[in-house]
A and B are shown apart, each in its own frame.
Chain A
Amino acid sequence: MPDVSSAVVAGGTAGRSAVIAEDSVLLRIGLVKVLEMAGFTVVAEAGDAEELLAAVAAHRPDLAVVDVRMPPGFTDEGVRAALSIRRERPGTAVLMLSQYVEERYAADLLATHTSGVGYLLKQRVADVEEFIEALRRVADGGTALDPQVVAQLLVRRASDPMERLTGREREVLALMAEGRSNAGIAAQLVVSESAVAKHINSILTKLDLPVADADHRRVLAVLRFLGVG
């Protein structure tokens, strides 16, 4: 196991501020620890959407970590709050946490901007290293989509171009959509980086997408293809 405590904390995120909106106190305490480990300063903790909006207005954080279901209705309060944050302060990165994939919420969120947005299943916080990576990626203006969100969006868009992809290419596309770099994809699939690059080229060709080098542009392209960008 890599020594994350030094590797992760040493990332250049020190000094960035974050707010947390999560109604479960137990989970909130844990999230604060993880965020602090990732180098964020947690400036406010909110238990519902109203508190979250007030905290964002007061502290202007770099990142908001928001639970989808919160009091009083326990439906999509978090998403609506996140959308309003994105509208009023586009500079604030938002990472949504949800018990289940609710793809339409993810789609709504991604429809505004695809930079600085994340949508992860709650259980992903347990994989601390990966979660910290996702937090940083989102705070840096990148994207973090849960593999399940991606899978679900792919189901929705199971149109003909998708069927031209091989199984491996689908996997690569899904990882791309999650916001991973070539190196990340290579590590995940246990292949070489050049093999990944080859797959990506093949995908972009098959899907008639322009070849672009930046990770973020790739995600944009994928999202546009998924119909949410």
Chain B
Amino acid sequence: MTIPPRLRRLLRLRRDLLYLAAGVLPHLLTAPLFFWAAVLTGQTLAGTSSDAPVILSVPLTLLVAAGYGLTEAQRWRFRALCGVELPRLGFRRARRQFGYHFLVGPLLGGLELLLLALLSAGIAASTVLIWIWTVPWQWRIGHPGYSTQAAYVTALGLLALAAVPPLAAGLVRLEDLVGRAVLGVSRSDELERRVEDLTESRAGAVDAADAERRRIERDLHDGAQQRLVSLALNLGLAKATLTDLPPEVKDVIDAAHREAKDAIEELNSLVRGLHPAVLDELGLDAALSGLAARAPLPVRLRVDLPERAAAPVEAVAYFVVSEALTNVAKHARDATRAEVTVTRLGGILRVVIADDGAGGADASRGSGLKGLAQRVRSVDGTFRMSSPVGGPTMMRVELPCPM
């Protein structure tokens, strides 16, 4: 449902006026307290009243209470009527709270009062031709030019009323700015909170992605992989037992058998790229030796970890080595050997992959390396690669890994 623009303006005006009207009391409440305190101070100094010093404590206490308590009132007003969320300050930032309620507040309250007065005056003036009929007729007889004057007054009133909406909107804006600047969070606080939020949500996203990879791995293991093995086994049985078949049929069975085995191989390597079960069960060392053994070139693997790293870090380290070795196999065709070293230096897990290929690899090209760098960044790691033309190529990844 759409709201017609005219009605929207009206609703907005109503909200602004309510917001400003609700501000009068909390903004001006401290003024009479100040006045009272000033009078009592004067009396104390002049010595005209012996009770004054004692009673003085009452407005002072009330002022302190107002300095803190009014913040809550303002928070409610900002949230309910303006949709702005101010932080709960409690007793923190006393200077800002007191400054707002004692200095800024009364000024804003005065402006609010003026605006409300303008509104009332406008309403009264613009309707003068209506309510003038309630004035006794003798008065009208005595003031023969009243209708001309009344017309002027009506025009002025209408002008005043026309000025109310923009003025109210302006004042709301001003209060919003001032309120947020003084009572709101500072920019650095806001950034700090935002960084905290983002860090948390990113860790959540990383965990969720890991969990999803595990789930897919598990599903494939329980489902498709078992089925494919069973299929290949049955085809193997057919091959072994049905020996008196015509050669064409044998060829077909043979081909199907080969296809099934290739499919298993492909699915296995897909699953290994996801998140191998062995990584969770036995850790990085065991999972990496699997990768190293399957690499098409000799890989020397050295894993020196006193204890297991956090699961997301292990997953990223595994992915790094997996991608790097795939890259070596794909691009560094002239490489004859590779070396993978995983060590832990304090709170840093360092993974170094080197090969003796011809070099010239470019990290900014190729989706594999880009994805690798992204995943490293997802756990605040750093990724560096040096691959001069002529080799050797060395990839160094450091992942923060709290002890």
A residues touching B (Cβ–Cβ < 8 Å)? 1, 3-5, 8, 24, 26-27, 29-31, 33-34, 37, 69, 74-76, 99-104, 122-123, 125-129, 131, 148, 151-152, 154-156, 158
Contacts and interface: CB of A to CB of B under 8 A. Distances in A.
Nearest to A102: B278
Contacts, number: 114
Contacts of B301: 155-156, 158
Contacts of A125: 229, 232-233, 236
A103 B290 contact: yes
Contacts of B225: 99, 122
A99 B290 CA distance: 12
Contact of A126 (B229, B290, B298): B229
Interface string B11-23: 0000000000000
A128 B240 contact: yes
B240 A26 contact: no
A67 to B, nearest CB: 10
Interface size band for B: 35 or more
Interface of B: 218, 221-222, 225-227, 229-230, 232-237, 239-241, 243, 250, 257, 260-261, 264-265, 268, 272, 276-278, 281-282, 286, 289-290, 292-294, 298-301
Q: Enumerate the 4 nearest inter-chain pairs by beta-carbon distance, A residue then B residue, closest first.
A: A126-B232, A152-B293, A128-B236, A30-B233
Q: Which applies to chain B's interface (DSSP): helix, strand, loop or mixed?
A: helix
A30 B243 CA distance: 18
Contact of B277 (A75, A126, A131): A75
Contacts of B261: 123, 126-127
Contacts of B235: 126
Nearest to B265: A123
A167 to B, nearest CB: 9
Contacts of B277: 69, 74-75, 99-100
Given A30-B237, A100-B272, A126-B229, 4 more contacts: A34-B237, A103-B293, A122-B225, A122-B229
Contacts of B265: 123
A154 B269 CA distance: 20
B227 A26 contact: yes
Contacts of A101: 290, 293
